[in-house]
Each structure stands twice: as structure tokens, then as C-alpha cells.
A and B are shown apart, each in its own frame.
Chain A
Amino acid sequence: MESTNFIMRFLNWLMTFDRKALILAASAIGAGLAMIAGIGPGVGQGYAAGKGAEAVGVNPKSSKQTTMVMLLGAAVAETSGILALVVALILLFGNPLVNLEGAAIVIAASAIGAGFSMIAGIGPGIGQGYAAGKGTEAVGRRPKYQPGIVRAMFLGQAVAQTTGIYALIISLVLMFANPLLRLL
């Protein structure tokens, strides 16, 4: 089929490849896309680290306590990065899509979509890191009230994680319980 339509020519070119190759190539792109989420924890934990340094500078006596709160908050901020890593590793080592029946283009697009979805992890990463930084700052200023501060920080971080969980659910649905293939 000779076509001047660029998209049709691109898709026809894709279809010249082996079915498995197409799905695996898309999985590679999806794994890369998922890891873009790593931006979030990076920025957020960096902010927490900065605030930790600041708090220790202001109040060197409570440096141990401040550092502990910083590490606790940063550990929570890491979650989205780990979730993205898990999705990427599933696409690379436990790919559930290669052996699926159905149109190869839909399966390949699902692999890319699963990766795109995980990019949402940027948000929780940055937000939780900000909370970790502010929690560290507050504990550094008033170490006596550490339990209340840490409780408020964790509560807020849990809420900030929700959209990351939504993205993970969509990603897992695309990989393991794809409803689109039934519509073919």
C-alpha cells in the first residue's frame, strides 16, 4: 500500500518488522520513559538535603536528630523512583506483553503507555522531598516537637503519593490486564 500519509507510511514501516521485535522495541522505549520519573526524587531529596544542611548549620547540637528526620523524609520521597524502576525492570526482565495474542501495534503501544504513565512519579518525588525538607527544618529549629512534626510530614507525604499510585495502577493494567486487546 503506497501512501503519502506520513503516519500510515510510518506504521507500514513498523509492520515490516517481526511482531516480537516490534513489541520488544516498544518495551525498551517504555522502560526508558518510566525512568524519567527519577527526576522527581532527585529534585525532592536534593531539597531535603539542602534543608538538612541548613538546619544543622543553624542548630548543630541537634544534628543527629535533624539528619534522621531528613533521611526518613528522603526515604519516602524515593518511593516513586522505586515504583518506576520496578515497572522498567518488569518491562525488561519479566515482559508480560511479548507472548500476548492480538494486534502487535496495540501491545507495543501499551508498553509505551505503561512507561509514559510512570512519568507522573516526578510529582510525588518533588513534593515529598519538599515536605521532608520542611520537616527537617522544623525539627532543627524545635527538636522537642519532633513527633508532631514528623507525623504531619508523613501524613502529607502519604497524600502526595496518591497520584503516583494511580499511575502505577494504570501502568500495571496496561501490562497485565490489558482491556484494549479484548476490544479488537
Chain B
Amino acid sequence: MEPITGRALILAASAIGAGLAMIAGIGPGIGQGYAAGKGAEGVGRQPEAQGDIVRTMLLGAAVAETTGIYGLIIALILLFANPLVGLL
């Protein structure tokens, strides 16, 4: 078995870190689902306002998506443009 180099250790930790970063996806998933639920409720109560209800729902869902995108960006940086190995 080959000994672990410092570079390999950093890359291994980066792989685990990329996975951990994606756990952030829990939040937007729950939040957007709540928005979708309230949207469906609203359309049921006021069907003639469907267009407005869906627009507001999608706007709010887009804001809720941001933290998920942040997590994705960090994971992609760790995988494809790892700044840590260069610091070694």
C-alpha cells in the first residue's frame, strides 16, 4: 500500500467536502415544496388568480434556490478548480 502524500490527503478531503456541501440541498427542497403546497392551496381557493399565484410562487422559489446554488458552486469548485492543492 502506497503511503499517503499531502496532496492525496487534500484531494480526499475535497471529495468528502464536496459531498457535504451538497447536503445544503435539503433546505431549498423543503422550502420550495412548502411554497408549491401553498401555491396549490391558493389556486384551489382562488382559481381565477392562478397566473398571479404561480408567478409569486416561482419568484419566491427562485430566492429559496440560492443557497442550493451556493452549495453546488462550492462542490464544483472543490472538484474542478480546487484552490487548496495549489496552496501546498
Q: Determine the main DSSP class of B at the interface with A.
A: helix
Question: Which residues of A, 116-149, contact B by the 8 Å Cβ criterion?
Answer: 116-135, 137-139, 141-142, 145, 148-149
Which range holds the interface residue count of chain A? Answer: 35 or more
A contact face: mostly helix, strand, loop, or mixed:
helix
Residue among A126, A139, A156, A164 with most chain B CB within 10 A:
A156
Residue numbers in B under 8 Å from A88 (CB-CB)? none
- Nearest CB in chain B to that of A139: its residue: B44
Which residues of chain B are within 8 angstroms of A112 by Cβ–Cβ distance? 15-16, 19
Q: How many A-B residue pairs have CB under 8 A?
A: 250
Interface residues on B, range: 35 or more
Given contacts A15-B4, A127-B33, A152-B36, contact A163 B15 (CB under 8 A): no
Select which of A18, A120, A128, A145 is within 8 A of B43 by beta carbon: A145
Whether A130 pairs with B11 at a CB distance below 8 angstroms is no
Asked if A103 and B4 sit within 8 Å, CB to CB, the answer is: yes
Would you mind naming 10 contact pairs between A and B with Cβ atoms under 8 Å apart?
Answer: A103-B8, A115-B19, A116-B16, A123-B30, A142-B44, A152-B39, A166-B68, A171-B19, A174-B19, A179-B79
Taken together as a complex, chains A and B put the C-alpha atoms of A152 and B42 apart, in Å, by 9
A166 to B19 CA separation, bound complex (whole angstroms): 11
- Which residues from chain B contact A103 at a C-beta distance below 8 Å? 2, 4-5, 8, 11-12
Contact, CB under 8 Å: A105 / B12: yes
Cβ-defined contact, B41 with A134, below 8 A: yes
Q: Chain B residues with Cβ under 8 A from A18's Cβ? A: 1
B47 to chain A, nearest CB (A): 4
Closest chain-A Cβ to B71's Cβ sits at a distance in Å of 8
For window 89-112 of A, CB contacts with B under 8 Å fall at 103-106, 108-110, 112
Known: A109-B16, A123-B29, A167-B25. 7 other contacts (CB 8 A): A120-B22, A121-B25, A122-B26, A123-B27, A131-B37, A151-B43, A180-B79
Please name all residues of chain B whose beta carbon is closer than 8 Å to the beta carbon of A160 when the two chains form the complex. 28-29, 32-33, 36, 61
